[in-house]
Structure 1
Amino acid sequence: MAKLVLAIDDDKYVHHIIEESLAGFCKIIHAKDGDEGLRLTNKYNPDIILLDIEMPGMSGYDVCKTIKQSESTQDIPVMFLSSKIELSDRVKGYSVGASDYITKPFNAEELIARIKVLYEYRQQCAKLKLDIAKANKTAEIAMTESGDMGRIMRYVGQSYHANNFQSLSEHFFAFFAPLNLDVVVVFWYQGTGVFYSQQSGVCPLEQELLEQHRQAQRFVDIGSSTIINYPKVSLLIKNMPVDNDALYGRYKDLSPHILEVTNEKVITMERSESSYEQAAQISTALQDIVKQLTTQNIEQNKSTKVFIEQLHELDCAIKLQQTQANPADLTLYISQLDQTMQLFVSANSDLAFIKYQLKQVAESRNELISNLRTKAEAAKVNTNHHSDIELF
């Protein structure tokens, strides 16, 4: 958990609230303004910084921007504390490098939960930095492909064989690595966002921005960042070269090719998952029908045994009637036989229902087989198509 939290705010009451909220949870140091906050940041290198926006002298935005410009402090997650609730304020906070944003007033539980997330985020960032060598090696391999089209076709082939989001995201990032773009991708899978980042963890504010802009237009520019949306995938380019018209145009033209392929891959994965679920449902339905048939067979055998016994009793009663002067009363025997016949009728009705269930399962099975054949044919066509492509 977070070892050291720096709170920068000009309001003594806010410092008191933070102290009470985090007592026993972590160590806290306090700064009354931006200048003191920067000095303590450089001195103690805290795990997390809580930063007010409106302060005398340097604003919170200026302080955050200064922290992110320094190589020694740029990895420290910054959470803005503000009474401003507009999305534009959150966007501005993200633009200067904040990782999260919490509105005043806040309670202790919410603050602790946010700090836990940010601390895990920083730990994840530190771990991912250890993998930079691997990423660089992948980038070197990708750079051997001449031109964007060769790398696009390489990604098409790689994405086709990816069977989970982890491997898909690795191929995705390998495409962007030679472009020196720091990107975050989210796969919108079955209504849930699955987030991955190229060079660091995905901070809460990045997740929030991607979720809030999911239904926005195809391209959304936020300061020096750009979000590109497709139905099943969204891309956040954190360092879009907005001041370089040539590069900016190239990347905006290039990204949709990759996102279209990725979008179709996510759709295919959802359909495959649907097929697996359908197969599981068929198996469950068959197991249920087998149980019903077993139970029905037991009941049918019981009814048959009773029917045979009752017929024997009726036969005996009829023979007895023929040997005696007083006729025997056959009403009881006939009533019992009638009840047994009703059981047979009910059993036939149950068997008809089971037959209907088997018909439904057979139709589902045929639909599943048809879907699997369609996918297999598409895979064959896809494989043959790519086998004719020469990657330059």
Structure 2
Amino acid sequence: MAKLVLTIDDDLYVHRIIEEALAGFCKLIHAKDGEQGFKLAKKHTPDIILLDIEMPGKSGYEICQALKEDELTHDIPVMFLSSKVELTDRVKGYSVGASDYITKPFNTEELMARIKVLYEYRQQCVKLKYDVAKAQNTAAMALAESGDMGRIVRFVGQSFHSHNFHSLSEHLLAFFSPFNLDVVVVFWYQGSSFFYSLESGVCPLEQELLDQHRNATRFVDIGNSTIINYPKISLLIKNMPVDNRALYGRYKDLFPHILEVTNEKVVAMERNENSFEQATQISTALQDIVKQLNSQNIAQNDYAKQFIEQLHELDCAIKQQQIQTNTADLTLYMSQLDHTMELLVSANSDLAFIKYQLKQVTESRNELLCNLRSKVEQASAQSLAHQSDIELF
């Protein structure tokens, strides 16, 4: 089924560019101003809306806000088209409900790629709505706990048995469900970012805002949204009750507790992963050393054999010379050669002993790796059993 895209812009040239760029990629509807665009959006309910900011009459910000307040068009992703490049403009766009923001001029590849992402985002949102029932069951279970600290203690126990971000995010998002908050969580892990949400997908602009404010203060308020930052985790609360000062203050006092626990869990996961990597690297390095020593040992054995053969030939030649010419005594030279041979044999013996020691170390390292993996697998199995027990009740 072809994607249906509504373009709202007062510039006919922009409409022409978009028409040429998206020809064959999707079906287009055009509106020359915000009022007409709003009516067409309600009539056709397109998959995506491309919206200019600066237009005569109502601005793009006003139209976007109206679209998000209307039940019929609330879930349609809006992408702003604008020549404004400042972060404050993007933040304002997100505050009124936009899902993405692209600056003019734009190229065809970028526009198509972003539309594809938004289309997949909307499909994800539709799919996730079917999982709301499960979230509600989780919320009911969480509400049965005795107060906020009881829910935190419950989460601490659940997080202990979580060894991947999928499991950890499920427990974390379930914690926030009883508060009727729509949240997005991102884990900052080894140079990568992993985004999760409970009731909707994570749109590109939300990802960008979290990334832009990652190194900001602990709390960042953006309109009705709040970002809470920790080194390894950031939380975006999309419907923070900023107008209710008492509830807002309570949440700001409560949520850092669970985020601090989650941050430490991610740190532990990263530390364990680094330990695995270091142990594997050491084991690989030791195996390489053993291979090199084996090769050197073979070469040294060959040299020793060659030395002995040459020594024997020299001994025979000297004896033959003494018989024929009765030359001077060469016992001293023979003694030196014998001593050199003893040193070579001793060095070869030492090398073999080193190889044996390294082999023992390698076997110990491999045993350590097996034990570590076994512990993680056991913990994962316990986590599954723990979750099954909870579901039975």
Report TM bin, short chain.
0.7 to 0.9
Shift of 1:185: 0.6
The equivalent residue for 2:387 is none
Shift of 1:57: 1.6
CA distance in 1, matches of 2:351, 2:128: 61
The equivalent residue for 1:53 is 53
Q: Percent of aligned positions with the same letter in both sequences?
A: 78
The equivalent residue for 2:84 is 84
CA distance in 2, matches of 1:282, 1:351: 21
The equivalent residue for 2:214 is 214
Of 170-179 and 316-325, the range deviating more from structure 2 = 316-325
The equivalent residue for 1:382 is none
The equivalent residue for 1:173 is 173
Q: Which one-letter code corresponds to 2:288 in the other structure?
A: D
The equivalent residue for 2:34 is 34
Q: Secondary structure at the match of 2:235?
A: strand
Question: Where in structure 2 are the equivalents of 1:269-348 lying within 5 Å?
Answer: 269-325=269-325
Shift of 1:72: 2.3
The equivalent residue for 1:389 is none
Q: Which one-letter code corresponds to 2:220 in the other structure?
A: V
Shift of 1:86: 1.2
Q: Secondary structure at the match of 1:319?
A: helix
CA distance in 2, matches of 1:162, 1:25: 42
CA distance in 2, matches of 1:130, 1:300: 71
Q: Secondary structure at the match of 1:249?
A: helix
CA distance in 1, matches of 2:138, 2:103: 41
The equivalent residue for 1:144 is 144
CA distance in 2, matches of 1:249, 1:148: 14
Q: Would you say the 8 A contact 1:2–1:115 is kept in 2? A: no
| Cα shift readout 1:308-341 (whole Å, capped 9, x = no counterpart) | 211111121012112213869x9xx99xx79x97
Q: Would you say the 8 A contact 2:297–2:351 is kept in 1? A: no
Q: Secondary structure at the match of 1:184?
A: strand
| Cα shift readout 1:77-103 (whole Å, capped 9, x = no counterpart) | 110000111111111110111000011
CA distance in 2, matches of 1:351, 1:132: 67
The equivalent residue for 1:105 is 105
CA distance in 2, matches of 1:97, 1:189: 28
- In structure 1, stretches of 5+ residues that fail to align are 380-392
- In structure 2, stretches of 5+ residues that fail to align are 380-393
Taking structure 2 as the reference length, the TM-score comes to 0.84
Q: Would you say the 8 A contact 1:122–1:201 is kept in 2? A: yes
Question: Where in structure 2 are the equivalents of 1:164-203 lying within 5 Å?
Answer: 164-203=164-203
Q: Would you say the 8 A contact 2:9–2:31 is kept in 1? A: yes
Q: Secondary structure at the match of 2:79?
A: strand
CA distance in 2, matches of 1:297, 1:325: 41
Shift of 1:344: 5.1
Of 89-98 and 113-122, the range deviating more from structure 2 = 113-122
Shift of 1:116: 1.5
| Cα shift readout 1:143-177 (whole Å, capped 9, x = no counterpart) | 11121011011011111111100010000011100
Runs of 4+ in structure 1 over 6 Å off? none
Q: Would you say the 8 A contact 2:290–2:358 is kept in 1? A: no
Q: Which one-letter code corresponds to 1:22 in the other structure?
A: L
CA distance in 1, matches of 2:231, 2:358: 37
Q: Secondary structure at the match of 1:120?
A: helix
CA distance in 2, matches of 1:301, 1:23: 75
CA distance in 2, matches of 1:291, 1:197: 49
The equivalent residue for 1:132 is 132
Judged with a 3 Å threshold, the aligned counterparts in structure 2 of structure 1 residues 2 and 261 are, in CA distance, closer, same or farther, namely: farther
| Cα shift readout 1:227-276 (whole Å, capped 9, x = no counterpart) | 11111111110000111111111111111111110110111011000111
Judged with a 3 Å threshold, the aligned counterparts in structure 2 of structure 1 residues 190 and 323 are, in CA distance, closer, same or farther, namely: same
Of 118-127 and 172-181, the range deviating more from structure 2 = 118-127
Q: Secondary structure at the match of 2:209?
A: helix
Q: Would you say the 8 A contact 1:2–1:116 is kept in 2? A: no
The equivalent residue for 1:259 is 259
Judged with a 3 Å threshold, the aligned counterparts in structure 2 of structure 1 residues 6 and 41 are, in CA distance, closer, same or farther, namely: same
Q: Which one-letter code corresponds to 1:169 in the other structure?
A: S
Shift of 1:191: 2.5
CA distance in 2, matches of 1:163, 1:222: 32
Q: Secondary structure at the match of 2:253?
A: helix
CA distance in 2, matches of 1:279, 1:94: 45
The alignment's C-alpha RMSD in Å is 3.2
Q: Which one-letter code corresponds to 2:63 in the other structure?
A: V
Q: Would you say the 8 A contact 2:4–2:26 is kept in 1? A: yes
